[in-house]
Amino acid sequence: MHYPIGLLFDLLASSSALPWNITVHFKSFPEKDLLHCPSKDAIEAHFMSCMKEADALKHKSQVINEMQKKDHKQLWMGLQNDRFDQFWAINRKLMEYPAEENGFRYIPFRIYQTTTERPFIQKLFRPVAADGQLHTLGDLLKEVCPSAVAPEDGERKNQVMIHGIEPMLETPLQWLSEHLSYPDNFLHISIIPQPTD
């Protein structure tokens, strides 16, 4: 329940098969095999916690703290009821930044790998370099997860996926964060071995 479904698909799917079969249980829930979600309130609390963490990285929590409780509720209800307009009316504020800053304070991201025991990598990373240049996805990977990037003269061993697509490493990180973040406002990046099928 902690990972978005699209991220799970990126991590587990191959080009030839779906990653799982889904069985819906209406009785006799398999408590030994699956973690039972305690309530909808627990999911909402987890979602809002992620939103607050992302805003702390992007805006020092200023945007989310200025919102009223009804705005928080509108974010959750829009997501829960698949109402994009309702969700985006509030989430838009979390995606804005002052023009003079050229981007967020830090990019809220998590990098997931299938070849490591570590659940994910998350570090502070600014979208703009000290010289004013926009950092790219490649810059982030070189600093945070260098094994994900092929040497300039070498063969690619990994594939970088976000929302089921493989973005170019030259893509500005600020743009990716604004346009490919999940509803929790995090950029969830999957690094998977280069497919052989």
What domains can you pick out in the chain, each with its CATH number? 39-96 (1.10.246.190), 102-196 (3.10.20.90)
- For residue 151, the tally of other CB atoms under 10 A from its CB is 9
* Strands lying side by side in the sheet with 158-161: 109-113, 187-193, 158-161
Instruction: Note whether 171 and 137 are within 8 A (CB).
Output: yes
Residue 16: pLDDT band (50, 70, 90) is: low
DSSP 191: E
Higher-confidence residue of 93 and 153: namely 93
Average pLDDT value for the chain: 89
Q: What average pLDDT score do residues 140-147 get?
A: 92
Residue 106: pLDDT band (50, 70, 90) is: very high
- The residue among 194, 197, 196, 195 whose CA lies nearest residue 150 is 194
Q: What average pLDDT score do residues 32-48 get?
A: 86
- The residue among 9, 178, 175, 161 whose CA lies nearest residue 88 is 178
**For residues 143 and 89, what is the distance between their CA atoms, to the nearest angstrom?**
34
Q: What average pLDDT score do residues 142-167 get?
A: 85
Q: Is 60 exceeded by the pLDDT of residue 1?
A: no
Q: What is the pLDDT of residue 197?
A: 61
Q: What is the pLDDT of residue 188?
A: 96
Residue 2: pLDDT band (50, 70, 90) is: confident
**For residues 157 and 149, what is the distance between their CA atoms, to the nearest angstrom?**
8
Of 17-21, 104-108, 122-126, 156-160, the range with the lowest mean pLDDT is 17-21
